Amino acid sequence: MPCGSLPKVDTELVILAVAGLLECDYEWHHHAPRAQAAGLTPAAIQSLRSKELDGALFSARHGLLLHATREQLNDGRVANDRMERLRAMLGDAGTVELLLLIGHYQMLAGFIASCGVEPDRPREGL
């Protein structure tokens, strides 16, 4: 979230992971440039559209965040052992922030899909 405690690169990683898994082009197009500006490589960004993670593209930290995101989306919860590792890495407040970030963008992707919102068109002259 804009004023959250997670580093911007972590936030953008998670947002793109949700957008990629839920095929939300609106959020994808909005956040891919932000993710690159925050430090994610183009290859890492593109891989987030895949159903299979390429672990070589991500740090151990980002791998943990991505696996937790996928678990939350696919299973409706993050497994206990992964939650323990998240708490050790992010603390309780950071873990809550992460889970709410995943849930927020999952909800937003569902709203966008249901309403048929298309990605923004580039503005001329800007």
Token duo for residue 45: 């960004």
Q: At a CB cut-off of 8 Å and minimum separation 6, what does 101 contact?
A: 1, 4, 6, 11, 14, 15
8-115: which CATH number, 3.40.50.10420, 1.20.1290.10, 2.60.210.10, 3.30.70.2860? 1.20.1290.10
Would you kindly state where each structural domain of the chain is located, as residue ranges? 8-115
pTM to 2 decimals?
Answer: 0.92
> What's the chain's Rg over C-alpha atoms?
14
What pLDDT shows up at residue 118?
A: 87
pLDDT category, 126, cuts 50, 70, 90?
A: very low
Is 52 within 8 Å of 66 (Cβ atoms)? Answer: no
Q: Considering only CA atoms, which of 92, 78, 80, 108 is closest in space to residue 18? A: 108
| Residue range 12-39, pLDDT digits in tens | 999 999 999 999 999 999 999 999 999 9
Token duo for residue 58: 């991500």
